[in-house]
Copies of this chain bind each other. A is one copy, B any other.
Amino acid sequence: MHCRSCHDCTARGFAICAALDETELRELAQLSRHVRFESGATVFAQANIATSFFSVHAGTLRLYKLLPDSRRQIVGFALPGDFLGLPGLPHHEFSADAVGRVTLCQFPKESFATFAEKRPQLLRRMVELAGHELARAQEHMVLLGRRSAEEKIASFLIGWRDRLSGIGRGGEILPLPMKRLDIADHLGLTIETVSRTFSKLERDGVIQIFASGVVLLDTPRAEALSAGVS
Contact = CB atoms under 8 A, between A and B. Distances in A.
Nearest to A128: B88
Interface stretch (A6-14, A135-143, A173-181, A212-220): A135-143
Interface stretch (A54-62, A63-71, A195-203): A63-71
B130 A75 contact: no
A134 B72 contact: no
Interface residues on A, range: 35 or more
Tallying the copies of this chain within the complex gives 2
Interface residues of A, dominant DSSP: helix
A188 B88 contact: no
Interface in A107-154: 117-120, 123-124, 126-128, 130-135, 137-142, 144-147
Given A65-B139, A68-B227, A137-B137, 5 more contacts: A68-B229, A73-B141, A93-B134, A130-B131, A141-B141
Interface of A: 65, 67-69, 71-73, 75, 86-89, 93-94, 117-120, 123-124, 126-128, 130-135, 137-142, 144-147, 185, 187-188, 227-230
